[in-house]
Structure formats: structure tokens, C-alpha cells
Amino acid sequence: MNKKDENSKNLFEGIKDGNPFRVPDNYFETFEERLNARIKKDETYINYQRTLLFYLKPILASAAVLILGLLILNIPYSKFIPIEKESIVKLNSIREKGDYEFEIPQVLILDFSEQQFLSDLETIRNLDLKFIKQEHLVDYITNSYSEYEILATN
């Protein structure tokens, strides 16, 4: 330590001019090898990410365009994703009138419309209930409306 600053000359008497720290055996000899292994691992991971992105990009872009299109055209997503209807309906007031087969109007309702629902109810009221089986009515209503929708009209 012969080039030390003036202030530190003979400053720390008794302290060896050596390095008190040491490294594990062969540390510097093997450092390059370990570094190269880490660089390769890192590059493999980056390549994997790039490949994944390469394949995902067109899919993500198509999905984005589709969603954008739907938003612009104002098409509800329920057209594509079926909504499970609740099947809990209380129909105590409907009495079984007979065992005759009856063809229930097959109105496919995907989007709830209060007007449509009331119109269906009116149709049912006008039917001769003696020709309708109770379970057919229950099936029809539970398949066409959710509990929420039925409650909403009351």
C-alpha cells in the first residue's frame, strides 16, 4: 500500500496488507463455465417465450378483432355462450287437468323480454288447461326462463 492517500498513510497500524476474504476452491476457474450455463438457460427461456408469443399473437389478435366486432355490432355474448337457466320454479297454482298430450308452443327465448314473457303467459292462459300436462308446463317455463326473470315480472 505505498500509493495510499496522505491521510491514510500509517493509518491502520497492525493491519495486514492482505485480503481477509477468500473464495471456495476453484471458484474463478469454474466461474466462466457456470456463467455460460446461465446465459444458455436464459436464452432458452427467452426463445421459448418468443416462440410462444409467435404462435399466440395471431390467436390473440383474432380474439381482439372478434371482441371489437361484437362490441361495435352490439351483439350480446350470450349468443355464443349459453346461459344456464335456473330450474327452481314454484307452480303450485297449476293443477293437473288431464293426461292428454299437448304440444307446448316452442318459443325459443334466448334474451329475456318482459313483453315476450307476458305474451307467453297470455297464450298459456288462453289454452285449455285440461289438454296440458303439469310437467310439460313446468318443463317449458323452467327451460325458457330463469328464476330471476320470473320474479322480475311480478
Question: What residues line the site for other proteins (CB under 8 A)?
Answer: 1, 3-5, 7-8, 11-12, 14-16, 18-24, 27-28, 31-32, 34-35, 38-39, 42
Instruction: Give the nearer residue to other proteins in terms of CB position, either 7 or 92.
Output: 7
The C-alpha cell that represents 125 in the structure block: 292462459
Cα 150 to Cα 154: distance, rounded to the nearest angstrom: 7
Residue number with CB closer to other proteins (19 or 106): 19
Q: What phi and psi, each to the nearest 5 degrees, are found at residue 76?
A: -65, 145
Question: What is the rounded CA–CA span in Å between residue 57 and residue 81?
Answer: 24
Shortest separation between residue 46's beta carbon and other proteins, angstroms = 9
Contacts of 130 (CB under 8 A, 6+ apart): 97, 98, 100
Q: How far is the CB of 12 from other proteins (least distance, A)?
A: 6
Q: Report in angstroms how near the CB of residue 47 gets to other proteins at its nearest.
A: 14
What's the sign of the alpha-carbon dihedral 38, 42, 45, 51? negative
- Measured CA to CA, the distance from residue 93 to residue 111 in angstroms comes to 26
Give 6 or 103: the residue with its C-beta nearer to other proteins.
6
Residue whose CB is less far from other proteins, 28 or 54: 28
Q: How far is the CB of 32 from other proteins (least distance, A)?
A: 5
